[in-house]
Amino acid sequence: MKLSKKLLRVAAALSLAAASANADATPMEPLGGKPPKSAAASIKDFDYRTKYMYAFEAAMWAMPAVGIYGFRKATERIGGTDNTILAWSRPADARAELLTANNNTPYILAMTDLKKGPVVLEVPAKSEKALLYGQIVDHWQWAIADVGPIGVDKGKGGKYLLLPPHYKGDIPKGYYVLKSPSYRVYFAFRSVKTPRATMADAYAYSKKIKMYYLNDPKPTTFIDPSDMRFPTLPHYDETFFEDIHDIFTYEDVKPQDKIMMGYLSYLGIEKGKPYHPDAVTKKAMRQAAADFYYYMQHMLTRPSDKMKYWKDRQWQDVLTPDENGNFSYDLDDRIDVRMRANRYFFATYYPRSYYNPPANIYIYTLLDKAGNRIDGKKLYKLKIPKDMPVKQFWSLILYDADTWAFIYNKQNKYGLSSFDMDTLQKDPDGGVTLYFGEKPPKGYESNWIPTRGKYVAPTLRFYGAEKEVIDRTWVMPDVEPVQ
Helix locations, 24-142, DSSP H: 46-77
Tens-place pLDDT, residues 105-127: 899 999 999 999 999 999 999 99
The pLDDT, as a whole number, for residue 10 is 53
**Torsion on CA atoms 9, 12, 13, 14, rounded to nearest 10:** 120
Residues in the chain where the model's pLDDT stays below 70: 1-24
Q: Are residues 102 and 219 in the same domain?
A: yes
Q: Check: CB of residue 247 under 8 Å from CB of residue 257.
A: no
Q: How many C-beta neighbours within 10 Å does residue 50 have?
A: 15
**Cβ neighbours for 283, distance < 8 A, ≥ 6 positions apart:** 48
Q: What are the Cα distances from residue 143, in Å, to 120, 231, 264?
A: 17, 22, 26
Q: Which CATH number characterizes residue 122's domain?
A: 2.60.40.1610
Domain of residue 325: give its range: 316-481
Is residue 281 situated within a structural domain?
no
Closest among 111, 108, 119, 113 to 86, alpha carbons compared:
108
Q: Which long-range contacts (CB under 8 A, 24 or more apart) does 291-298 make?
A: 291/56, 292/56, 292/59, 292/60, 292/236, 292/341, 293/236, 296/341, 296/342, 296/345, 296/346, 297/401
Euclidean distance between CA atoms 138 and 233, whole angstroms: 18
Is residue 160 situated within a structural domain?
yes
Q: Are residues 321 and 224 in the same domain?
A: no
Which neighbouring-strand residues pair with 381?
435, 480
Q: Check: CB of residue 225 under 8 Å from CB of residue 397.
A: no
Is residue 394 situated within a structural domain?
yes
The pLDDT, as a whole number, for residue 66 is 98
Whole-prediction pTM: 0.91
Q: Which CATH number characterizes residue 404's domain?
A: 2.60.120.600
Q: Are residues 222 and 85 in the same domain?
A: yes
Q: Are residues 93 and 204 in the same domain?
A: yes
Among candidate residues 211, 228, 245, the one where a domain is terminated: 228
Tens-place pLDDT, residues 331-341: 999 999 999 99
Is residue 275 situated within a structural domain?
no
Euclidean distance between CA atoms 194 and 265, whole angstroms: 51
Q: Are residues 223 and 322 in the same domain?
A: no
Q: Are residues 86 and 221 in the same domain?
A: yes
Q: Please state the domain count of the chain.
A: 2
**Cβ neighbours for 127, distance < 8 A, ≥ 6 positions apart:** 205
Q: Are residues 214 and 334 in the same domain?
A: no
Element (H, E) at 16: helix 2-23
Q: Are residues 204 and 96 in the same domain?
A: yes
Is residue 293 situated within a structural domain?
no
Among candidate residues 190, 211, 228, the one where a domain is terminated: 228
**Cβ neighbours for 467, distance < 8 A, ≥ 6 positions apart:** 357, 389
Is residue 207 situated within a structural domain?
yes
Which neighbouring-strand residues pair with 284?
none
Among candidate residues 212, 228, 244, the one where a domain is terminated: 228
Q: Are residues 331 and 473 in the same domain?
A: yes
Q: Are residues 224 and 321 in the same domain?
A: no
Rounded to 5°, the CA angle 86-87-93 comes to 100
Is residue 303 situated within a structural domain?
no
Q: Are residues 200 and 329 in the same domain?
A: no
Is residue 297 situated within a structural domain?
no
The pLDDT, as a whole number, for residue 19 is 54
Q: Are residues 349 and 201 in the same domain?
A: no
